């Protein structure tokens, strides 16, 4: 009886969001605020609460180590103030334009009593407004029940990719265009699996996690992240808002370092099939997806490559040709999303992917490629370790070799080519059986 | 009758102009060796009552980079550029040779001519076939010119000749394809580059008698007007028209894109009025021409300022709009050329110009872009040279100017490490020493 009642309550709760709002109803999905989650007996615990599935220190990790926590605060800093000035805004901290990614900027009527905009990208920015699910969540409902009641399924690769990339690349309402970059916004680098790990993650994949959430692998997260990132890129290209204005296309679609490089005496051959001196469309996500697809769905890999090369060529022809090829790239990426989300990447798969990445690194020296290759190797290392395919000692050797790869990047804009190639060789050795 | 006579004169003049230009196009270039004799321009000291020091060949061959223009085509960098461009090599490609050598057709190469001499005497002074005789026979400078010697002493002629490579034109232009393949950027300012070439002429009494007294400010302004005119020609050239969303990026300011992403770059500039994140047409020489024009023709300066803003705005509109504004900017620059040629740049001009160049950097909304700073420094170099050469300032006044000028050069020495704050400080130090 008790169980039935609970189930009925859960169903009722779940029905709320999916039925949508009708006028006069109190708003659903109210964001209650970080303080609601941060109790010492909940997610702000210094030691694991009794019978808890999770360590309970999630709030502490976020507030002490996770940059999402200072996302709002940076809007008050000198750099943001200067950027706002350049954009003709009075400040950054009150602008929807900035707040939509630098805070949990829900409308006023969806902010609960403990909600504070200054909490930055707080719990509910990613996990969803808790008013519908907090009750059952603290009452011990299952994860599936919480999700049914409105908790965002951040563990699912596709859902996680959609949520993270809505800011870390952009979507139809949020987009870091070149005007924003020109005003001084830092470049957005991203890879879903690596960034999940270095956030740092405030979850631990243990038996309890796997039982509740299922086994999700680093390679699924990596490959789905690449596919969704590419889809979002193509969506932005196809968005009429970002069509060329006057003489110029939206530069944010292009590879930053394609223009922003020193022009010392080292001119590189292009990788786009276009002549020297042409601006390169950012194809790093496409390249990673192509490498992954070559192992899992070779036909899609070929389609991706052909459409992306045609897109590069179209950038020196006309924008409608770019749009046409963007449709092709998007369709190829879309066809891979579900396949990757459920693909069982074996140890052999991972080693083959690593070899493909090492081989590619020798063929060009494009910064955005090097960066994504490094992130991919991070995901592969994590995947190999968690798959049980390698010993702990081997894992340590690989970790050390990977550190050398990262060390080849003196900053987030340049790579020391010789050190990078040497470190990749070391990692290649370390990864072999 | 008078009318007829006038027509006859004009017809004669036209005939001569046409034959002269035809001659200039097909005369034989005799080669550097013909000039380098130890009794001519390759003498270690002047012989007899020579009008020139006669060491011109030595200065060129020992110190002037023009002498290496051809040989650099076979160095590693050029090999890589050629490879990137899909060329077999650089030293046989007309694309490279047209500026890196005196690349006249084989029929116009005399027995002593060598392509490997690079940008030799006749590349600038004109093929000597027709004038070497009278030149050796002690003819006047004017007579030599009539016979085909190029009048490099005339500011406009010098500007046209130097800029034909140093900015380029319809036939010779360092496109962004060539830049992207590895060609270095090409800063230029006529008066400064004449001096640092280094000049192989000495302005003495004899020079002034034969050629008139050069005025560095006039050479500077003339270089700017021709530079702007040529750049607008390039914008208007169908060869460099935008193809789809692909632009001839060499028309734009290098550092507009090629800058580090580490620091906040953007600042409001009153002469562009562009929002952040946009690529800027190269305009450093136009901004300096604004300053020069204000002394020569204030109305032209005002019109130029208006149309420069409109030109920048047009890049956010359409290429047709860009061309429309470029046409107007070109016209203004073109009209300024004869006005600059006839303007007497005085001590008062030197004072006003030097302060105006400083203001173009330091005023609110001033041009602190790297390319702008580079042109400002060279403008000041020219104005200080004028003060020195024309006696507008004495040695005591010039010494601190030249010392602080070093700080300006240091501040613009490297486009990647350029810091506007350092430059502003150097500019303030310099301007505090301005004597007039």
Over residues A149-190, the pLDDT tens digits come to 999 999 999 999 999 999 999 999 999 999 999 999 999 999
Domain end position, chosen among B150, B181, B216? B150
Whether residue B13 lies inside any domain: the answer is no
Whether residue B7 lies inside any domain: the answer is no
Domain end position, chosen among B150, B172, B206? B150
Give A18's pLDDT tier (boundaries 50, 70, 90): very low
Q: Name beta bridge partners: A151.
A: none
- Please give, rounded to a whole number of angstroms, the shortest distance from the CA of B249 to a CA of chain A: 8
Which of A84-93, B64-73, B135-144, B427-436 shows the lowest per-residue confidence on average (mean pLDDT)? B135-144
Q: Of chain A residues 85-114, which have a CB less than 8 A from chain B?
A: 86-88
Whether residue B1 lies inside any domain: the answer is no
Residue of B nearest to A81 (CA): B264
* B240 neighbors B251 (Cβ within 8 angstroms): yes
For B186-220, write each residue's pLDDT tens digit: 999 999 999 999 999 999 999 999 999 999 999 99
Give A316's pLDDT tier (boundaries 50, 70, 90): confident
B76 and B109 in a common domain: yes
Q: Please check whether residue A407 touches B, CB under 8 A.
A: no
B249 and B123 in a common domain: no
B202 and B138 in a common domain: no
* A19 neighbors A105 (Cβ within 8 angstroms): no
Is B277 in contact with A79 (Cβ distance < 8 A)?
no
- Judged against a pLDDT cut of 80, whether residue A2 lies above it is answered with no
According to the model, what pLDDT value does residue B418 have?
95
Q: What is the rounded average pLDDT of the residues A325-350?
A: 96
B294 and B401 in a common domain: yes
Is B416 in contact with A413 (Cβ distance < 8 A)?
no
Q: What is the rounded average pLDDT of the residues A354-375?
A: 95
Is B177 in contact with A183 (Cβ distance < 8 A)?
no
B182 and B135 in a common domain: no
How many structural domains are present in chain B?
2
Q: Work out the percent of chain A whose per-residue pLDDT is above 70.
A: 93
Give B26's pLDDT tier (boundaries 50, 70, 90): confident
B162 and B107 in a common domain: no
Q: What is the pTM of this model?
A: 0.90
Chain A residues with beta carbon closer than 8 angstroms to that of B81: 267
B237 and B355 in a common domain: yes
Q: What is the rounded average pLDDT of the residues A122-128?
A: 98
Q: How far apart are CA B307 and CA B323, in angstroms?
A: 12
B318 and B300 in a common domain: yes
The two three-digit tokens of residue B31, written as one number: 């080669």
Chain B residues with beta carbon closer than 8 angstroms to that of A316: 243-246
Cis peptide preceding A200, ω within 30 of 0: yes
Spatial CA neighbour of B50 closest among B215, B196, B210 = B210
CA distances from B252 to A99, B236, B249, B284 (A): 34, 14, 5, 10
Q: Work out the percent of chain B whose per-residue pLDDT is above 70.
A: 94
According to the model, what pLDDT value does residue A24 have?
44
B68 and B79 in a common domain: yes
Mean pLDDT of all residues in chain A?
91
DSSP states of B95-115:
HHHHHHS----GGGB-TT--G
Q: Please check whether residue A244 touches B, CB under 8 A.
A: yes
For A278-301, write each residue's pLDDT tens digit: 999 999 999 999 999 999 999 999
Structural domain including B246 reads 152-436
- Please give, rounded to a whole number of angstroms, the shortest distance from the CA of A75 to a CA of chain B: 15
For B256-315, write each residue's pLDDT tens digit: 999 888 878 899 999 999 999 999 999 999 999 999 999 999 999 999 999 999 999 999
- At B85, which CATH number? 1.10.1130.10
B434 and B370 in a common domain: yes
Write the residue in A183, A322, A411 that is nearest to B266 by C-beta. Answer: A183
Give A265's pLDDT tier (boundaries 50, 70, 90): low
According to the model, what pLDDT value does residue A262 have?
83
**Stronger pLDDT, A268 or B83, i.e. the higher one:** B83
Domain end position, chosen among B150, B180, B205? B150
According to the model, what pLDDT value does residue B25 have?
66
B434 and B323 in a common domain: yes
Q: What is the rounded average pLDDT of the residues B335-361?
A: 98
Q: What is the rounded average pLDDT of the residues B85-111?
A: 97
Q: How far apart are CA B358 and CA B354, in angstroms?
A: 6
B137 and B181 in a common domain: no
The two three-digit tokens of residue A420, written as one number: 């990078």
Whether residue B11 lies inside any domain: the answer is no
Is B264 in contact with A261 (Cβ distance < 8 A)?
no
Cβ neighbors of A410 (< 8 A, separation 6 or more) are A416
According to the model, what pLDDT value does residue A267 have?
67
Q: Of chain A residues 165-194, which have a CB less than 8 A from chain B?
A: 177-184, 186-187
Spatial CA neighbour of A283 closest among A314, A262, A261 = A314
Q: Is B66 helix (H, G, I), strand (E, B) or coil?
A: helix
Q: Please check whether residue A402 touches B, CB under 8 A.
A: no
Q: Which of A187, A276, A280, A365 to mutate to test the interface with B (most CBs of B within 10 A)?
A: A276
According to the model, what pLDDT value does residue A266 have?
63
According to the model, what pLDDT value does residue A407 have?
98
Whether residue B146 lies inside any domain: the answer is yes
Give A406's pLDDT tier (boundaries 50, 70, 90): very high
Q: What is the rounded average pLDDT of the residues B368-385?
A: 98
For A187-228, write each residue's pLDDT tens digit: 999 999 999 999 999 999 999 899 999 999 999 999 999 999
Write the residue in B258, B266, B322 that is nearest to A263 by C-beta. Answer: B258
Whether residue B368 lies inside any domain: the answer is yes
- Judged against a pLDDT cut of 70, whether residue A370 lies above it is answered with yes
According to the model, what pLDDT value does residue A197 have?
97
Q: Work out the percent of chain A whose per-residue pLDDT is above 90.
A: 83
Cβ neighbors of A86 (< 8 A, separation 6 or more) are A182, A183, A184, B264, B266, B267, B268, B276
Whether residue B9 lies inside any domain: the answer is no
- Judged against a pLDDT cut of 70, whether residue B170 lies above it is answered with yes
Whether residue B20 lies inside any domain: the answer is no
Q: Please check whether residue A249 touches B, CB under 8 A.
A: yes
Q: How far apart are CA B82 and CA B87, in angstroms?
A: 5
According to the model, what pLDDT value does residue B24 have?
53
- Judged against a pLDDT cut of 60, whether residue A9 lies above it is answered with no
């Amino acid at each position: 009886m008790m169980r039935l009642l609970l189930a009925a309550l859960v169903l009722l709760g779940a029905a709320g969001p999916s039925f949508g709002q009708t006028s006069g109803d109190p708003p659903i999905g109210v964001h209650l605020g970080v303080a609601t989650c941060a109790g010492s007996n909940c997610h702000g615990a210094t030691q694991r609460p009794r019978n808890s599935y999770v360590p309970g220190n999630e709030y502490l990790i976020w507030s002490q180590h996770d940059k999402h926590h200072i996302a709002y605060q940076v809007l008050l800093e000198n750099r943001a103030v200067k950027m706002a000035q350049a954009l003709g805004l009075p400040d950054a901290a009150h602008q929807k334009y900035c707040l939509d990614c630098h805070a949990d900027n829900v409308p006023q009527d969806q902010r609960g009593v403990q909600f504070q905009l200054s909490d930055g990208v707080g719990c509910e920015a990613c996990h969803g407004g808790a008013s519908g699910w907090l009750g059952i969540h603290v009452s011990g409902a299952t994860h599936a029940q919480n999700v049914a009641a409105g908790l965002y399924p951040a563990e699912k690769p596709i859902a996680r990719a959609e949520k993270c990339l809505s800011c870390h690349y952009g979507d139809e309402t949020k987009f870091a265009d070149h005007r924003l970059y020109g005003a001084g916004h830092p470049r957005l680098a991203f890879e879903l699996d690596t960034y999940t790990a270095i956030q740092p993650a405030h979850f631990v994949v243990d038996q309890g996690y796997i039982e509740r959430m299922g086994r999700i692998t680093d390679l699924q997260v990596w490959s789905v992240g690449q596919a969704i990132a590419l889809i979002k890129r193509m969506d932005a290209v196809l968005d009429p808002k970002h069509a060329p204005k006057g003489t110029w296309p939206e530069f944010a679609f292009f590879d930053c370092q394609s223009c922003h490089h020193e022009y010392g005496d080292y001119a590189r051959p292009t990788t786009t099939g276009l002549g020297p001196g042409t601006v390169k469309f950012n194809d790093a996500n496409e390249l990673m997806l192509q490498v992954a697809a070559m192992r899992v769905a070779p036909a899609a890999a070929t389609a991706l490559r052909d459409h992306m090369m045609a897109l590069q060529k179209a950038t020196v022809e006309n924008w409608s040709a770019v749009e046409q090829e963007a449709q092709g790239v998007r369709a190829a990426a879309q066809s891979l999303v579900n396949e990757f989300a459920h693909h069982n990447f074996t140890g052999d798969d991972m080693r083959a992917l690593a070899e493909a990445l090492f081989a590619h690194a020798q063929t060009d020296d494009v910064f955005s490629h090097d960066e994504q290759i490094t992130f991919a190797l991070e995901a592969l290392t994590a995947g190999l370790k968690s798959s049980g395919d390698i010993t702990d000692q081997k894992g340590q050797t690989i970790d050390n070799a990977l550190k050398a790869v990262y060390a080849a990047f003196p900053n987030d804009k340049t790579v020391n080519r010789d050190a990078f190639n040497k470190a990749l060789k070391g990692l290649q050795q370390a990864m072999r059986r | 009758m008078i009318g007829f006579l006038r027509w006859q004169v004009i017809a004669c003049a036209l005939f001569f102009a046409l034959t002269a230009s035809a001659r200039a196009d097909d005369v034989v270039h005799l080669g550097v060796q013909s000039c380098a004799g130890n009794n001519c321009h390759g003498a270690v000291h002047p012989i007899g009552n020579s009008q020139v020091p006669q060491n011109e060949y030595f200065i060129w061959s020992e110190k002037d980079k023009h002498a290496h223009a051809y040989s650099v085509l076979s160095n590693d960098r050029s090999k890589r550029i050629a490879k990137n461009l899909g060329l077999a090599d650089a030293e046989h490609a007309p694309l490279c040779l047209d500026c890196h050598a005196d690349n006249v057709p084989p029929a116009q190469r005399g027995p002593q001519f060598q392509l490997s001499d690079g940008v030799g005497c006749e590349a600038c002074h004109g093929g000597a076939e027709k004038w070497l005789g009278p030149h050796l026979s002690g003819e006047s400078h004017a007579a030599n010119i009539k016979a085909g010697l190029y009048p490099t002493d005339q500011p406009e002629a010098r500007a046209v000749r130097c800029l034909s490579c140093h900015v380029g034109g319809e036939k010779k232009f360092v496109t962004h394809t060539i830049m992207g393949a590895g060609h270095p950027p090409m800063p230029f300012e006529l008066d400064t580059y004449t001096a640092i070439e280094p000049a192989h002429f000495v302005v003495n009494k004899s020079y002034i008698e034969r050629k008139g007294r050069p005025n560095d400010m006039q050479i500077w302004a003339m270089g700017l007007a021709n530079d702007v005119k040529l750049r607008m020609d390039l914008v208007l050239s169908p060869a460099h028209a935008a193809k789809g969303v692909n632009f001839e990026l060499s028309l734009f300011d290098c550092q507009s894109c090629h800058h580090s992403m580490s620091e906040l770059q953007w600042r409001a500039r009153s002469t562009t009025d562009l929002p952040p994140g946009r690529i800027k047409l190269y305009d450093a020489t136009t901004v300096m021409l604004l300053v020069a024009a204000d002394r020569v023709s204030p109305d032209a300066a005002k019109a130029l300022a208006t149309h420069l803003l409109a030109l920048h705005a047009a890049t956010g509109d359409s290429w047709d709009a860009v061309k429309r504004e470029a046409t107007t900017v070109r016209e203004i620059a073109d009209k300024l050329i004869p006005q600059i040629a006839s303007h007497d740049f005085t001590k008062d001009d030197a004072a006003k110009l030097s302060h105006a160049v400083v203001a173009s950097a330091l005023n609110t909304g001033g041009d602190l872009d790297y390319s702008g700073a580079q042109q400002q420094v060279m403008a000041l170099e020219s104005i200080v040279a004028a003060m020195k050469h024309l006696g507008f300032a004495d040695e005591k006044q010039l010494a601190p100017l030249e010392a602080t000028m070093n700080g300006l050069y240091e501040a613009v020495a490297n486009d990647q490490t350029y810091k506007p704050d350092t430059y502003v400080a150097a500019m303030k130090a310099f301007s505090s020493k301005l004597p007039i």
